[in-house]
Every structure is written in C-alpha cells, then in structure tokens.
Amino acid sequence: MPGLRLHRRREVADEALVRSLFEEHGRAMLAYATQLTRDRVAAEDIVQEALVRAWRHPDSLVNGKGSVRGWLLTVIRNIVVDQVRARNARAPEVRESPVEVASEDDHAERVVNSMVVVDALSRLSAEHREVLEQLYLQGSTVTEAAKTLGIPPGTVKSRSFYALRALREQRSLSPAGTERSAS
C-alpha cells in the first residue's frame, strides 16, 4: 500500500511539473517551434513531444547546468533537426495516383449500339429523322438546319423535341412492347 501511495504522489508531482513547465515556458516554446517549422500544427506537436521528454527526464531540468527554458528550447531544436533528418533519409512521399486501367472499347458493343440507334431512327417519321440528322450528325445549328431543310427555326426545334421524345419512348419499351425495368 505505501508503494502505491508513493507511485500516485509521483504521478501527481510529474503532472504538476509538466503543467508548470507549460504555463511558464509554453509560449516561448511554441513561438520557437513555429519559427523553426513555419507550421503551427507541427510546432504544437513538437512542444508536446518536448514536454513528454521533460516528464520522462525530470532530473535533466534540475541538474544545474543551465536554465530550464534553455533545456526545453534545445530539446525543441533537436526534435526539429531529427524530423528533418528523418524526412531527408527516406525518399519523398508521393501521393498514390489512382490506378488507371487501360480499357479498350468493345467493338461488339459499338456495333450493337449503332444497330439500336439505326433501328430507332428508322421508326421515326422522315421529317423528324432529317432534323436529328442535321442537328446531331451534321452538327448544324438550328438556324443552319432550318436553311438546309427549308423550314422555320421554330419547326426545327419542335421536330427535334418530338423526335427525341419518340426515341426515349422507344427505348423504354422492350421488343415485346412491355416496359423495361429501370436499372
């Protein structure tokens, strides 16, 4: 039992030591670490590590070889130097790029798709098909398609709207004339 009390007193004393070190020297430690690293978050981690080292080696603080602040700032500088050396000792980290899988277009799928499109276009009226051919295959604007077909631009817009709607309706029906399930 006495050993347990002694251990507990030591823990409380160590915690009080770390708290007093941070209260007295924390600002200076953080400013110095931030100056060395140019990174506030990294500096906070370094200050924490320095306090852990002080907690592990409390005898170093009272050995009479200099000021406590000087010891703490030296520990911070050593931690920063160690981190720089560790970073330089290994190859720079490179972000992992997403794996690019070379994929070739499936020729059979293109043939089937073109057959489906040709079949769907053949079911449209000649007027609707001509408008879609001008707009989508020839790449004409509405005005250019109107001039080529000899109809007003409003009629080109109207026919393209109804032609596309008819294609969508054909797509939603299966060959047997029943609705396809949405996938």
pLDDT value for 176: 45
- pLDDT by residue for the chain (183 residues), tens digit each? 555 565 556 666 677 878 888 899 889 999 999 999 999 999 999 999 998 888 888 777 776 667 888 889 999 999 999 988 888 887 766 677 666 655 666 677 877 777 887 888 888 899 998 998 898 888 899 999 999 999 999 999 999 999 888 888 877 764 544 444 444
Per-residue DSSP letters for 76-137? HHHHHHHHHHHHHHSPPP-PPPPP----PPPHHHHHHHHHHHHHHHHTS-HHHHHHHIIIII
pTM: 0.45
pLDDT value for 92: 66
pLDDT value for 177: 46
Q: Spell out the domains of the chain, with CATH numbers in brackets.
A: 9-90 (1.10.1740.10), 124-173 (1.10.10.10)
